[in-house]
Amino acid sequence: MVRAECQSQAALACQDRFEKNRDKLFTFLHFDGVPWNNNNAEHAIKAFARLRDTIEGSSTEKGIREYLVLLSVCQTCKYMGLDFLDFLRSGEKDIHGFAESRRGRKRRAQASQPAGLPSNAIPNSGSQP
């Protein structure tokens, strides 16, 4: 690492922190699937902060734990391009299985469409209005 001459206390503090954590800072370079930022964590914290503001401190440990499970499932559905409410209504317990069944259903529907017709032109017979 290039050593720069730092003058201010803030710069020295940043430099010390960087050197102290250098082995952890670039983990994403060594492993596939590790994001370079913490946007996912920040989004989760924001959702939890909204809950905290809504319930104004009137919660139990059990209630928070259950909320965090639902929040985790909701975020996973979002990242996978799935509708959270559809997943809950399905009764499935495996998000990946649910996603695969949806993809399979979509492929079958597209295969049965007349040529040149958009896939959403004919409503799915299994869907509700």
pLDDT tens-digit series, residues 72-129 = 899 899 889 999 999 999 999 999 999 998 887 766 666 665 555 555 554 554 444 4
Residues 47 and 104 placed together within one structural domain of the fold: yes
Residue 97 is assigned to a structural domain of this protein: yes
Residues 72 and 98 in one domain: yes
Chain center to CA of 102: 19
Domain containing 73 equals 37-108
**48/69 Cα distance (integer angstroms):** 11
Single pTM value for the model? 0.49
